[in-house]
Structure 1
Amino acid sequence: MTPDATLAARVTVDLDALAANWRALDELSGGTASAVVKADAYGLGAARVAPALARAGARRFFVALPDEGAALRAVLGPGPEICILGGFAPADIAVFRDHALVPVLNSAAQARAWFAAMPGAPAGLQVDSGMNRLGMEADELAGLLPLPPSVGFVMSHLACADEPEHPLNARQLGDFRALTDGLGLPRSLAATGGILLGRAFRFDFTRPGVGIYGGAPFAESRPVVTLEVPVIQLRDVAPGEAVGYGATWTADRPARIATIAAGYADGILRAAGAGGLAAFHAGRRLPGAGRVSMDLITLDVTGCAEIGPGTMVEILGPSQGVDQLAAAAGTIGYEILTSLGSRYSRRYTGG
Structure 2
Amino acid sequence: MMSACPDPLWPSYRAGARLTVDLDAIASNYRYLQTLASGASCAAVVKADAYGLGIERVAPVLENAGATDFFVAHVDEGIRLRSVVSEKARITVLHGPRPGASADCVRYGLRPVLNSLEQIALWRDEGSRTDALPEAALQVDSGMSRFGLSDADLETLQADKGLVDGLKVGLVMSHLACADTPDHPANQAQKDRLLQMSARLPPAPLSLSASSGIFLGTDYHLDVVRPGAALYGIAPNRTGPNPLSPGFFRTFRDDVF
CA distance in 1, matches of 2:225, 2:157: 25
Give the conservation status (yes or no) of the 8 Å contact 1:12–1:227: yes
Q: 1:206 to 1:3 in 2, by over 3 A?
A: same
Instruction: Please name the residue that 1:171 is paired with.
Output: 189
- Which among 27, 40, 45 is matched to residue 19 of structure 1? 27
Specify the alignment match of 1:196 in structure 2: 215
1:33-84 Cα offsets, whole Å, 9 max, x none, are 1000001001100111011001111111111111011000011141111111
- For 1:116, the aligned partner's letter is D
Aligned-partner SS, 2:92: strand
CA contact (8 A) 2:103 2:126 kept: no
Residue 3 of structure 1 deviates from its aligned partner by 7.5
- Name the CA distance, whole Å, in 2 between partners of 1:215 and 1:10: 19
Tell me the TM-score normalised to structure 1 length.
Answer: 0.63
User: 2:250 matched to 1:227?
Assistant: yes
Give 1:127's aligned residue.
Answer: 140
Q: Which has the larger radius of gyration?
A: 1
Query: Which secondary structure state, in structure 2, belongs to the residue aligned with residue 90 of structure 1?
Result: coil
1:175 and 1:93 map into 2 onto residues whose CA distance is: 29
Corresponding letter in the other structure for 1:172: Q
Deviation of 1:91 after TM superposition, in Å, equals 1.2
Q: CA deviation at 1:95?
A: 2.0
Identity %: 44
Question: Quick check: 1:37–1:63 contact (8 Å CA) kept in 2?
Answer: yes
Shift, 1:4, TM fit: 11
Distance (whole Å) between structure 1 residues aligned to residue 210 and residue 235 of structure 2: 12
More relative contact order, 1 or 2 (CA 8 Å, 6+ apart): 2
Q: List gaps (5 residues or longer) in structure 2.
A: 7-11
Q: TM-score, normalised by structure 2?
A: 0.84
Letter in 2 for 1:33: C
Q: Which residue of 2 aligns with 1:251?
A: none
Shift of 1:2: 6.9
Match for residue 97 of structure 2? Answer: 88
Question: Using a 3 Å threshold, how does the CA distance of structure 1 residues 92 and 3 change in structure 2: closer, same or farther?
Answer: same
TM alignment of 1:14-93, pairs within 5 A: 14-30=22-38, 31-93=40-102
- After superposing the two structures, state which structure 1 stretch, 54-63 or 212-221, moved more: 212-221
CA distance in 2, matches of 1:167, 1:44: 34
Asked whether the equivalents of residues 105 and 125 of structure 1 are also in contact (C-alpha less than 8 Å), the reply is yes
Q: Is 2:171 the partner of 1:153?
A: yes
Unaligned runs of 5+ in 1: 234-308, 310-351
Give RMSD over aligned pairs: 2.1
Cross-structure match for 2:9:
none
Count of equivalent residues: 234
Corresponding residue number in structure 2 for 1:286: none
Return the letter of the residue paired with 1:168.
Answer: A
Partner of 1:274: none
After TM superposition, where is structure 1 displaced by more than 6 Å over at least 4 residues in a row?
1-6
Higher strand share: 1
Q: Distance in 1 between matches of 2:108 and 2:5?
A: 44
